[in-house]
Copies of this chain bind each other. A is one copy, B any other.
Amino acid sequence: MKVLKSYRSFGGHTEFLEHHSWATQTTMKFSWFLPSTPPKGCLIWLSGLTCTDENFIMKAGAQRYLEEHQLMVVCPDTSPRGLHLPHEHDADDFGSGAGFYVDAVTEGYRDHYRMYSYVSSELYGLIQNKFELGDRFAISGHSMGGHGALVLGLKEPAKFRSVSAFSPIAHPTDSPWGEKAFAGYLGDDKTLWAAYDATALLALGKRHPKEILIDQGTKDIFLTKQLKPEHLLAAKGTQAVDFRFQDGYDHSYYFIASFIEEHIAFHAQHLS
């Protein structure tokens, strides 16, 4: 693990790092904020399409609240980098910057696009060991990363004490973004698709023991075509979900910044 940049902030440190990943067989970048005392727990933040490890840590204003609760955040990049797979760099919604937090099975991609394993096993284990955190992990994310947070939380409830999301792609197998990405990473077998779809996982009976917090802006231009939270709410069964429509907010980091304090307080409850 190599620290590339380090900035003192709010008494702690915002840092940018890289390491060689066994899951993706590439160099992976990530950022973290470390509070001024040993962290009591770690929030894993998954970013959306086109993002890198920089967007959240630079724009969300989370450091103040993380320091307040003595939590760390770690923000992985959204895909492997430095490869030249077929069609990898053709569009914003597939390949680089668009890993969708799945383990790919298709030719070429299966050797590197293993973001599910990267986040839930490799990065998780690395942080867990370095900071002796046990299971004191929470997960959240935005858009494609909100999808990732819901899927990881529902599939691995023992690893994540709490789950939240901003504007998640709630039903990727029924969204143009999700269909394109899943076809590219997972091929034609739609039973495999369901394993990475929060709405399908809920319909299959997957549950997280704690209430899941979801914020969604009412003026989000992707709401009806791509995100479809109403599908998730219809499928949730006994899963407790605190779903909040936030009036007038859109899909941007200005929305995330406005409510990140509440998400961090929510996770802090479960992590301390």
Contact = CB atoms under 8 A, between A and B. Distances in A.
Interface of A: 7-11, 14, 58-59, 61, 63-64, 217, 219, 248-250, 252-255, 257-258, 261
A8 B254 contact: yes
Most buried by B among A249, A250, A258: A258
Contact of A257 (B61, B252, B253, B254): B61
Contacts of A10: 257-258
Nearest to A64: B61
Contacts of A58: 58-59, 253
A100 to B, nearest CB: 26
Contacts of A64: 61, 257, 261
Given A11-B258, A63-B254, 5 more contacts: A7-B252, A8-B255, A10-B258, A58-B253, A59-B59
A255 B219 contact: no
A80 to B, nearest CB: 27
A8 B258 contact: yes
Nearest to A259: B10
Given A58-B59, A59-B58, A64-B61, A254 B219 contact: no
A4 to B, nearest CB: 14
A255 B59 contact: no
B248 A8 contact: yes
Nearest to A249: B8
Given A14-B254, A254-B14, A8 B61 contact: no
A8 B257 contact: no
A217 B257 CA distance: 25
Contacts of A11: 258
Lowest 7 CB-CB distances: which A-B pairs, in order? Answer: A61-B61, A7-B254, A9-B254, A8-B248, A10-B258, A8-B249, A9-B258
Contacts of A257: 9-10, 61, 63-64
A1 B202 CA distance: 49
Residue in A8, A11, A61 whose Cβ sees the most chain B Cβ within 10 Å: A8
